[in-house]
Structures are given as C-alpha cells and as structure tokens.
Amino acid sequence: MKKEEIPQDPGALNKLTKEVCYAVDQSGQYVTELSSGWEVKAKALDVAWEDIENRIAVARQKVLGGEASPILFFMEYRLMDPGILAAYTGFWKWRIKRHLRAKAFGKLSHNQLRRYAEAFNVSVEDLKNMNVHEG
C-alpha cells in the first residue's frame, strides 16, 4: 500500500488511538504511518462486540434461570475463559467449571467467593447479584 492510500476512516477506536501501518513511500522504501481507522475493520469490530454483548445477555439469562452461576456472567463480561480465570484465582480449571453450576456456586465459602470477586474486580455482594460498576 502506498503512503497516501493508508485508510483514514473513522472507527470504533478513532478518538482513543491510532494504528501503525506499513506503507511504501515515494522512493519505494517501507515506512510507518498512522491510520485513524479502516471502515472494514470497524465493521468487523462492531460485529465482534455485538457477539460479545449477546453472550453476556445469554449468560445473564442462564444465571437468572438457575442454569448457571454468576461466575459465567462475569467470565463473559470480563472476556475470560476457565484458563484465564484459573490463573487469576489459583483454582484448577475443573473446579471453575464445577463452580459455573448454580448449585455448586451456592456452596462456595466466603474466601472462595472473595477470590472470584477480586478476579472480576467486584465485591462479593456484586458477584452474587451480577452488579457491574464501571468507573
């Protein structure tokens, strides 16, 4: 791509950051240039975030329906999987998968709940009630 062809379309991260792109200048040398965005990439990101929002909504409904524990909701909300959550909490992945069930979650000790709450950056009470406070 030539230096003057680097896309400058407004994107989802347009106001926060710029992306480094490689381009060819007039002398044929590769140079780095900043791009404010690319429409195709912005649409792909929008689709990805829409999918994430749907997964969070499904997780919330499963918790409210008694099919899953609030850990599932927060895993989806914080974009985690059992492996990542295991690294943050120190629990084995198989234990986390067990704790995803509502019945098992109800038997967790305060210390275990605290470890999950710290990993999700919420209080134990907010963990239990699926309350999210961003600030």
pLDDT digits (tens, 9 = 90+) for 55-90: 999 999 999 999 999 999 999 999 999 999 999 999
- pTM for this model (two decimals): 0.77
Q: Report the top-level CATH class of 41-129.
A: mainly alpha
CA distance 1 to 22: 8
Q: How many CB atoms lie within 10 A of CB 120?
A: 22
- Per-residue pLDDT, 46: 87
State the DSSP code for 67. Answer: S
Q: Any idea what the Cα angle at residue 114 is, between residues 110 and 116, rounded to 5°?
A: 120
Residues 13-41, mean pLDDT to the nearest whole number: 83
Question: Residues 28-59: pLDDT tens digits?
Answer: 899 988 887 778 888 888 899 999 999 999 99
Q: What percent of the chain has pLDDT over 90?
A: 65
CA distance 112 to 60: 21
CA distance 101 to 99: 5
CA distance 100 to 118: 17
CA distance 42 to 92: 37
Q: Coil, strand or helix: which one is 21?
A: strand
Helix (H) or strand (E) holding 39: helix 39-64
Q: Where in the chain is the domain with CATH 1.10.260?
A: 41-129
Task: Return the residue matching tokens 């780095």.
Answer: 32
